[in-house]
Amino acid sequence: MERYLIALDLDGTLLKDDKTISPFTKDVILRAKEAGHIVVIATGRPYRASKMYYEELHLTTPIVNFNGAFVHHPKDDTWGMYHSPLQLETIKEIIEVSETYNIKNILAEVMDDVYFHDHDEKLLSIVQLGQPKIEIGDLRQILKTDPTSVLIHTDEEHADDIQYYLSSVHANVLHHRRWAAPWHIIEIVRAGVHKAFGLQRIAEYFQIPNDRVIAFGDEDNDLEMIQWAGYGIAMGNAIEPLKQVAKDVTKTNEEDGIGIYLKGLLKL
């Protein structure tokens, strides 16, 4: 039997809108594992906020976090840890111009530690999952290590200006994406880092060619992964640009899109 590597994005893909995995899709994934296929999670979330789904699916595989900036194996320390952080000096430069671009706040994550430039209840509410260590203060002073990921909180009016600044001044060292509405948040990772970057390491480890990789996603942070995978599948609720580059489109995250597609393709 030819093994497939199955890569699952979380929010808007594996997870329903209530952040749970449907019983049907979960059952199909477990049957895929029993049949010998390899299942991995590839998410923009940090590990602390994806660990519960990793455990719910009884995974024993590496995981892609922070959109590829952190790849490790929770069950095997000998597998290796691939951390591709941003340069601290670059983030300090962005902080220096933050007032010019009406940046409300900047949040830096170093693995599972979180640093806020200013107190921000809105951002606090989205990073508390997994109970990280949180420190609040001038990032130019309290941040001592190259960050894994940075979030810039702004408003809709200034988001384009900030992204233009990032592209024109720092394009060679960082990659940025804007979160979907209603969040006016720009996420930054190191240049050249994306989910396909992490997934390729895992595929090489298991000696699975990309034409036997099945990847599911819904947002622009899934773009490279969907293009790279032999079976790059967009969810029915995915953004239009992702559907245009996908090999196929399945049902939505509310309609068991992953479960239905895998059951048919792998004859489970």
Judge if 64 and 108 occupy the same domain: no
Instruction: Say whether both 25 and 151 belong to one domain.
Output: no
Which regions of 66-211 does DSSP assign to beta strands (E)?
70-72, 82-83, 105-110, 113-116, 133-136, 149-153, 174-178, 185-190
pLDDT computed for residue 131 by the predictor: 84
Residue 61 is classified by DSSP as S
pLDDT tens, position by position, 35-59: 999 999 999 999 999 999 999 999 9
Residues 72 and 201 in one domain: yes
With a cut of 90, say whether residue 96 has pLDDT above it: no
pLDDT value for 28 = 98
- pLDDT value at 122 more than 90: no
Average pLDDT over every residue of 124-132: 82
Calculate helix-pair angle for 88-96, 156-170, nearest 10 degrees. 130
Q: Are 45 and 54 within 8 A, CB to CB?
A: no
- Residues with catalytic roles: 9
Query: What range defines the domain where residue 136 resides?
Result: 88-190
Mean pLDDT of 75-89: 94
Structural domain tally of the chain? 2
Q: Mean pLDDT over residues 102-121, rounded?
A: 90
Domain identity same for 94 and 179:
yes
Both 59 and 97 in a single domain?
no
Measure the CA–CA gap between 248 and 21, rounded to whole angstroms. 22
CB 200 within 8 A of CB 210: yes
Question: What pLDDT score was predicted for residue 201?
Answer: 95
Q: Exposed, middle or buried by CB within 10 Å (0-12, 13-18, 19+), for 254? A: middle
Residue with tokens 């093994």: 3
Q: Are residues 124 and 254 in the same domain?
A: no
pLDDT tens digits for 199-251? 999 999 999 999 999 999 999 899 999 999 999 999 999 999 999 999 999 99
- For 160-206, what is each residue's pLDDT tens digit? 889 998 898 888 888 888 887 777 889 999 999 999 999 999 999 99
For residue 127, the Cα-to-chain-centroid distance in whole angstroms is: 14
**139: CATH:** 3.30.1240.10
Write the DSSP string, 216-247: EE-SGGGHHHHHHSTEEEE-TTS-HHHHHHSS
Q: What is the pLDDT of residue 98?
A: 80
The span from the CA of 139 to the CA of 175, in Å, is: 20
pLDDT score, position 47 = 95
Structure confidence at residue 19 (pLDDT): 96
Asked if residue 12 lies in contact with residue 242, where contact means CB atoms within 8 angstroms, the answer is: no
Checking phi first, is residue 79 left (phi over 0); if not, alpha (psi -120 to 50) or beta? alpha
**Mean pLDDT over each residue of the chain, to the nearest integer:** 93
| End residue of a domain, out of 190, 211, 233 | 190
